[in-house]
């Protein structure tokens, strides 16, 4: 196959990372654009690709790994459109409207599905038949891949908003999710930690009791992922997961929660090889976006 160029977009809630890459993943040009509103972000994104394409050549396909909620069903007339996002200005914004001028196919998936794909191809998820990728950051998102394809129903999964057991005597914090209050995201994402204790866990010095509380919430998703999908591995990334001691506490809490009910070689003692952090680190998102673009080339 002749060398082709992919336009890759990792659309995050704070910033967009945009890149022009070769199909082998080599990045030729890259930029960061504040997410703000589509009125400012979209034209800057189009300008980046115009300029990068003028220098390096025609773009053969776009891959978009985006925050959501967003329509990721290729058969839907609204494919690529933000739906009920509480982010001001973004509901109804559509990637195809701004990337259409390049005349290239566009694949849109969620940020977590994109990161999962990046990890499956070249990170901590290599060789996994089923892989779950969860990010615990400003929000909580979770994607599941089966044989390298992201799974969905009528829409993408929303594992960050599952209900979790919440002992209000031990943890009186009400949760910040505008829809559910104390769902997993409402109790364990970055804003919940700052809302409850005023600072991030790392800035607080990663105290064991607080790390254990957050790990307890996240372990409920981890155990449910095992029960619902039987993944070969669980990857947990995002800013909150960088807290020293959190992934260890998560392994321990998840193992206790599974309570010996599932026995499989994948679930190693201590879950050290089962629950892991991203192999690509912060590059998982843009790597996944490039992989999505590559999938459009067939």
Residue 94 has what DSSP assignment? B
For Zn ion, which is the closer residue by CB, 177 or 271?
A: 177
- Closest approach, Cβ 217 to Zn ion, in A, equals 12
Whole-angstrom Cα distance, residue 36 to residue 32? 12
Q: How is residue 220 annotated by DSSP? A: H
Cβ atoms 161, 183 nearer than 8 A: yes
Site string for Zn ion, 123-152 (x = CB under 5 A): ------------------------------
Q: Which stretch binds Zn ion (CB under 5 A): 41-49, 114-122, 157-165, 238-246?
A: 157-165
Count of residues in contact with Zn ion, rule CB under 5 A: 5
Phi, psi dihedrals of residue 10, rounded to the nearest 5°: -105, 100
Query: According to CB under 5 A, which one of 17, 115, 177, 226 is a site residue for Zn ion?
Result: 177
Using CB under 5 A as the binding rule, whether residue 183 contacts Zn ion is answered as yes
Q: 38 or 137, CB closer to Zn ion?
A: 137
Supply 291's token pair.
């992989």
- List the structure tokens of 54: 């003028």
Q: Nearer to Zn ion by C-beta: 60 or 187?
A: 187
Cα gap 132→142, rounded to integer Å = 7
CB nearer to Zn ion: give 135 or 287. Answer: 135
User: Which CB, 177 or 286, lies closer to Zn ion?
Assistant: 177
ω into 214 cis (within 30 of 0): no
Structure-token pair, residue 136: 């615990």
Binding residues for Zn ion restricted to 233-272, rule: CB under 5 A? none
CB of 133 to Zn ion, least distance (A): 19
Separation CA 54–CA 49 (nearest Å)? 8
Interface positions with Zn ion (CB under 5 A) = 161, 177, 179-180, 183
């Amino acid at each position: 196959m002749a060398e082709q160029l992919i336009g890759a977009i990792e659309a995050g809630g704070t910033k967009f990372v945009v890149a022009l890459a070769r199909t082998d993943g080599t990045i030729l040009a890259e930029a960061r654009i504040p997410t703000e509103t589509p009125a400012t972000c979209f034209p800057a994104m189009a300008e980046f690709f115009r300029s990068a394409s003028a220098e390096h050549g025609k773009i053969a396909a776009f891959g978009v790994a985006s925050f959501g909620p967003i329509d990721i069903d290729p058969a839907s007339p609204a494919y690529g459109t933000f739906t009920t996002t509480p982010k001001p200005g973004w509901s109804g914004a559509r990637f195809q409207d701004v990337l259409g001028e390049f005349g290239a196919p566009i694949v849109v998936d969620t940020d977590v599905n994109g990161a999962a794909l990046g990890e499956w191809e070249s990170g901590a998820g290599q060789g996994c038949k089923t892989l779950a990728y969860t990010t615990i950051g400003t929000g909580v998102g979770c994607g599941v891949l089966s044989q390298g394809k992201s799974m969905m129903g009528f829409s993408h999964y929303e594992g960050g908003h599952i209900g979790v057991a919440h002992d209000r005597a031990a943890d009186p914090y009400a949760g910040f999710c505008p829809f559910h209050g104390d769902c997993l995201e409402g109790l364990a994402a970055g804003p919940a930690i700052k809302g409850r204790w005023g600072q991030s866990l790392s800035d607080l010095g990663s105290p064991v009791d607080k790390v254990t509380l957050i790990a307890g919430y996240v372990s409920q998703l981890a155990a449910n992922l095992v029960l619902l999908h039987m993944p070969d591995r669980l990857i947990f990334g995002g800013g909150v997961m960088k807290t020293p001691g959190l992934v260890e506490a998560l392994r321990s809490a998840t193992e206790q929660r599974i309570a010996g009910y599932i026995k499989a070689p994948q679930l190693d003692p201590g879950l050290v090889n089962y629950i892991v952090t991203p192999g690509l680190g912060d590059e998982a998102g843009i790597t996944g976006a490039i992989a999505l673009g590559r999938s459009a080339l067939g």
